[in-house]
Each structure stands twice: as structure tokens, then as C-alpha cells.
Chains A and B, each alone.
Chain A
């Protein structure tokens, strides 16, 4: 394992240099909050941002993505034959993301990259991407990552984990991809391994100690799906929900999408857009039948998926990394931590 020290004075220059090889993405402050954006020209990632409204998910899986196209011009031989929009295989690096967001990417991988099926759009983007995270020294009150199987210094899914020291960054190179990114920046001041490990350890422990918010998921596994599905508390949980889907859009682990065809004059495209189980249209059948017609059913779907179905199906913990985005953004303050508590502690009355 290699550790590299980066003097903050050299940071901008190094990042600039990496552009020769990488297309860069990172947190950017905008008037409505921070977002993970394409860093154009001389934009630098905002390394102090630990609360981007949307997560790095949007770099691999944009809210709207044109995936196929065709011509409707019948004089052309290949009219009406859908072709894939050429994949953008240029190397990209997302720099400055919250560590648990990289774990979230791994959870989404479970769905998009399986033995039976490989989602080409996600997987191609994933393979082209290097993930550079920065540890969160002072986690905020919404962060419950440590009890969601990750943490403010989590390494899962990252290629480089950086620690923000006052005048420098200390980078822990976790993969070859990460090493290549460091080389492209020209960052090559090797730090002492033992000392660096110890320093990371201190920072991680200090950060984890600061996390005040916790969930308990221990009993979810032993409950049956039906028991939770038919529990009496869903109407009350769902009452205030306005079915906006904000919670699923901001969530780094939500992966649902909808396919839309659009045509303009003679050219047509097939797009995929984020979808949300909170919307009444979600999985509505062409027959008109709607499997989740009521608000309660929709709210139940979201929490059951995150805290029960996913857990049962993959045996990799819950489908939530504890970033707290949904807690912060929900306009009616439906709090997954509370719902988790209710579900986890529920005992069916005989």
C-alpha cells in the first residue's frame, strides 16, 4: 500500500496536469447546493464539500441519458434500427467524493453487473472511472454511515482515499487505478507507510467518534418479508409523504430508471431517465393495472427495498450507506432512521 503526501500548494497544478489523461468530475458549489459536476476548464473540485445534494451516482448514471438512436428517414437503409450511442470510454476521475458514496456505487453494481446481465451504460462508465474520495474529518448530524456498514473514512469502492490535513493531503492509494491517477497528477512524494497508517487511524477514529446518529438493523434479517409487509405501521409512516421521489433521486444507491423514446423530425432517440418507486407511474402496467396504487404501498416499497428485500437478496447489508441525504432533503421529514427503528423493533402480535 502506497501513501503519498500532496502539499496543498501543488494541488491545483497536479489536478490540472491530470486533465491530459482524465475528464474530471467533482463537487461544485452552486446556488442551490453542491453538485458533482463535470469540472470544465480550470474548475477545481471543492474538497471541503461533504454534502453534495446529488451523489456521484449521477456521473455514471445521469438523470437523463441518451442510450440508443436511429433515423426515421425511410430512404435510409438502417431506418428504425436502434444503435447504441457510442460509449464515452475516456478515462474519468471523480475527485473529492464522500467515501461512503463509493460504497454506494458498489451496491448499485450488484444490480447493474451480474452473472446474467451486464448493463453496458453503467458498466462502461464504471470501468472508465477512478474514484478519489476524501475522508470526512467532522461528520455532520445526518451522517449515520458507521451503522450502515460504511463510514467517514470507508475505503470500499475507492481507488484513492485522501485525508485532509491542514496544509497537505495524505493520499492512500488503494488500487492500480488510483496509482495511475496520482502519477498523472505528478504527485509522487512518498510518505512513510507506518506513520501514514497511524495518522489515518487516528483521523478515522476521531471522525467515527463524532458520529452521533445510529441505526440498528440487527433484527431485520430474521423477520419474514410478509411480517413486515403486512405490519400495521405503514399508513402512519406514509401519511405525510407527497410522493415527490426526492429521497430516491438524492440517494446514491437508488438505481431505478424509466425508458422513454423521443423523436424530432427524422431523428429518434431512446433515453433512460431516473425513475422512482415513489411516483404513482412507477411500474404501472400497460393494462392500466398499478401494482402500487396507493401512497402507502409506494412508501412501503422504498423502505422494504432498502432495508429488507435487498438485504435478503444479496446478503450484503442494507441498501443504504447512511449518507443522510434523504433525511435532509425530504420536504416532510420522513426519516429512514426512524422507519428503520420501527421495522427493526417490530414484533408481530400473535
Chain B
């Protein structure tokens, strides 16, 4: 199985052996099928614990802030873009992070796979494009291509945009004529139907904030939803408050979101919160030709003034 893992382990081993970094942040095997867990390792013996496969859907850029000393991190295309965003936003210094880039072949949509089974999955294996998934009642052989996460399907930056070393050969990037088909579909609904779409979307939200906490962009010491003086939003399950959380969080990610999908990956209710952020990503692209996290030297549109700003009010 070619998931770059041998190479990743070798690189991590060398880095720790030569004391070039103090820790390596990567993924380790989970205790249940289709799960991997972020891990930090400090000893070269532990590099054996590192794994990388198509279940590593969380974003490790979320784990590199406030670390002491130099650290290495394993980064897919989207993770690398969030590292760039961190650098732009002064959350990490470039020279503090050693980036082990992984050209990404896409992460799997775990809930879509789970939905194929009535009972719990007992075993999951992948070999190239072939996924073998087994429960106590049946076994399915699936093509990974068919079971990619929505964001991976639409991803145009699978190769890390910034790295110190690559753990595999670059993969071919796709160029999409219609990069936001999902947003267009929602936008085409009339106002009432759109409202219903978003009401339904957040219906089962339990406000655990896993979406926020898994997101590398959401690093405020006190999030607006947690602030109590002044209190911006009610904390209960009132629909208005739940939606206020989602709307405002999405706006706080405008021009910064890399569509890494970690928010959706983390949601215990499988809520596609990307329906909010993607619209703003599209706006940033349509109005400013901007995709987040591609270039360390450019300021994001919402934090820069430009004479050719498309808005009149600013001129």
C-alpha cells in the first residue's frame, strides 16, 4: 500500500535522530475502524507509530500553534494552506515548523461509507483505490474515488503549497470549470427554500463546537460564542442562537477557509457546515480572485486595501 508512510517514518526518524526538531506531529492508528488520531512524538523509536492513509481527514495545522521549540508536521495540500494562513496571521513562524508535505490522494467520506451498512463496521482496509469494508453482516469492496469527501472531490490543491520535504511524488492537480457546483445549487433555490435548507442543515446541531475546534482558523482565545461580557449570543438550543453561531463563524472564516473539511470530519452529527463557508470562499474567489493559503507574501483580501476593490463604499 503506497500511502507514503515508509517515507514519512524515515523522515521523522532522521529529524528526531539529528535533533533537528523536538517533536513530530502526525497521525497514529485509531482504536476503531476508519479512525486515526493526531499524535505527537518526541522519540525516534516512536516513529513506527506514525501512519498515513485516507482516514487522516483532520487538519494537523490545528496542532502546531503554541508549541515550544521547532516541530515537524505532516501536511496534506489543505493542511499546508492552513500553515500558510497561520504564518500570514502570525500564529507560527515559518522557521519554527518543519513541513513534511504529503501529496494527497484524497480522504474518504466516512459517513457515506457507514451509511452502506446497517450495523457497525468491523474492518477497514485500503489498497490504492480499493477499499475493503466489513461489518458482521456483509463485506463491501469499494472504489475510493467514489467515496471521497466532498471537499476532496472539488480540491484543486492536493499538493502541499509549502514544505521542507515531500514524502511522495506530486500528484496531478485537477482544474475545475465549475469549482463551486454545491454553492450554485443552493444559490439557485428561492429564498424560502434556501432558508429551509439551512434550517434543516443545522437542525440536529448540539453546539459541541467540534467544527470550530477542529478548524485551524478558529484559534481565538475566547470565541464570540463563549464571551460573556458582553454576551453576543444565547448559549442554549434556541434555533436563532444555533444559527447565529454558524453564520458568524462562517463569516469569521471568510477569505481564510481552505475547504480542508476538518470541520465536517469532526462533527458528530455529520452536518455539512461547509455549506456556509463555501459560499464565502466562492465570494472571495469571484470578487478578489482569492484562494486562501496559497501565498505567504500576499495579504488576505479582508485585511488589505486595494484601489481596485470591487466594492464602492471603500473608495
Residues of A within 8 A of B (CB): 30-33, 35, 51, 53-54, 62-64, 138, 140-142, 236, 239-240, 242-246, 249-250, 258, 260, 262, 271, 273, 276, 279-281, 327-329, 331-335, 337-338
Chain B 2-42 interface mask (CB, 8 Å, partner A; 1/0): 00000000000000000000000000001110011111100
**Contact (Cβ within 8 A) A246 B38:** no
In the bound complex, residues from chain B placing their C-beta under 8 Å from that of A246 are 206, 208, 210, 268
Interface residues on B, range: 35 or more
- List of B residues within 8 angstroms of A64 by Cβ: 236-238
Q: Which residues of A contact B62 (CB under 8 A)?
A: 242
Whether B265 contacts A331 by the Cβ 8 Å rule is yes
A268 and B63 CA atoms in complex are apart in Å by 41
Instruction: Report how far A329 CA is from B268 CA in the complex, Å.
Output: 5
CA A53 to CA B266, docked complex, whole Å? 15
**Contact of B120 with A by CB under 8 A:** yes
Extra contacts besides A63-B236, A280-B226 (11): CB < 8 Å: A30-B203, A31-B270, A245-B208, A260-B234, A260-B235, A260-B236, A273-B236, A273-B237, A327-B31, A333-B31, A335-B31
User: Taking chain B's interface residues, is the majority helix, strand, or loop, or is none over half, making it mixed?
Assistant: loop
- Evaluate contact between B266 and A32: CB separation under 8 angstroms: no
Q: Is B187 an interface residue (CB 8 A)?
A: no
- Give CA–CA (A328, B265) in the complex, Å: 13
Cβ-defined partner of B269 (8 Å) among A32, A243, A245, A273: A32
Once the chains bind, are A54 and B38 in contact (CB under 8 Å)?
A: no
Q: Which of B37, B119, B234 is A240 in contact with, Cβ under 8 Å?
A: B37
A329 and B58 alpha carbons, distance in the complex (Å): 14
User: Are A244 and B31 closer than 8 Å at their CB atoms?
Assistant: no
Q: Which 6 A-B pairs have the closest CB atoms?
A: A64-B236, A244-B210, A331-B266, A242-B213, A64-B237, A240-B38
| Alpha-carbon gap, A51 to B114, bound state (A) | 13
Q: Is the CB of B58 within 8 A of A63?
A: no
18 inter-chain pairs at a CB distance below 8 angstroms, sorted by A residue, are A33-B270, A51-B120, A62-B237, A63-B207, A140-B120, A240-B38, A242-B62, A242-B214, A244-B208, A249-B206, A250-B268, A260-B236, A280-B226, A327-B31, A331-B214, A331-B266, A332-B37, A335-B31
Which of chain A's residues have a CB closer than 8 A to the CB of B210? 242, 244, 246, 331
Which residues of B does A touch, CB under 8 Å? 30-32, 35-40, 58, 62-63, 119-120, 122, 136, 203-204, 206-210, 213-214, 226, 234-238, 265-271
Decide: A140 and B119 in contact? CB cutoff 8 A.
Answer: yes
Asked if residues A331 and B268 are in contact (CB atoms below 8 Å), the reply is yes
CB of A209, distance to nearest CB on chain B (Å):
13
Find out whether the CB atom of B30 lies under 8 angstroms from the CB atom of A243.
Answer: no
Q: Which of A35, A236, A250, A333 is close to B32, meaning CB atoms less than 8 Å apart?
A: A333
How far is A236 from B46 in the complex, measured between Cα atoms in Å? Answer: 13
Complex CA gap A254/B46 in Å reads 34
Residues from chain B with Cβ under 8 Å of A31 in the complex:
204, 270
B305 to chain A: closest CB distance in Å?
A: 35
How far apart are B266's CB and chain A's nearest CB, in angstroms? 4
| Cβ-defined contact, A337 with B31, below 8 A | yes
**B31 → A minimal CB distance (Å):** 4
Residue of B120, B214, B268 near A141 (CB, 8 A) is B120
A249 to B203, CA, bound (A): 16
Say whether, besides A271-B236, A280-B226, A242 and B266 are in contact (CB < 8 Å). Answer: yes
Residues of A within 8 A of B119 (CB): 138, 140
Considering the complex, give the chain B residue whose CB is closest to the CB of A262: B234
